[in-house]
Structures are given as structure tokens and as C-alpha cells.
Amino acid sequence: MKLAEYIKETRGEMKHVNWPTKSQAANYTLLVIGLSVATAAVLSVADYVFRLGLEKFILAK
């Protein structure tokens, strides 16, 4: 396939894409940020709990 043909077909396919509105994009962005913060919080708590468990295990000997 030639480069010009590839670009032409790509442009044609891009017309079929259903792009989000500004409002949807903003909502999705906030959702991703919120989920990222929540995941970081859960992993931080898990890390803290595991660290405490390891310290108790190591100090118990």
C-alpha cells in the first residue's frame, strides 16, 4: 500500500469516529483522575499494612 493511499483511507475512517464533546471529555478526565487517586490511596494503605505486618514479623524473632 502506498503512503498516499494509506493517508486517504485513514482520513476516510476518521470521519466515522464519534468524538466526545467538551463536556464528556472533561467528565472522563475527572473520572480518570479520581480513579487514579483512589487507586493510589488503596495501594498506599495496603503498603502501610504490609509494612507493619513485616515489621511485626521481623521484630517477633
CA distances from 44 to 25, 34, 38, 39, 52 (A): 28, 15, 10, 8, 12
Q: Kindly report the CA angle at 27 between 26 and 32, in degrees rounded to 5?
A: 100
Domain coordinates in residue numbering, the chain: 20-61
User: Global pTM?
Assistant: 0.67
Q: How far apart are CA 6 and CA 35, in angstroms?
A: 37
Per-residue pLDDT, 61: 62
pLDDT in tens, 20-41: 999 999 999 999 999 999 999 9
Q: Name the pLDDT band for 59 (thresholds 50, 70, 90).
A: confident
Burial of 3 (0-12, 13-18, 19+ CB in 10 A): exposed
Residues 6+ apart with CB under 8 A from 24: none
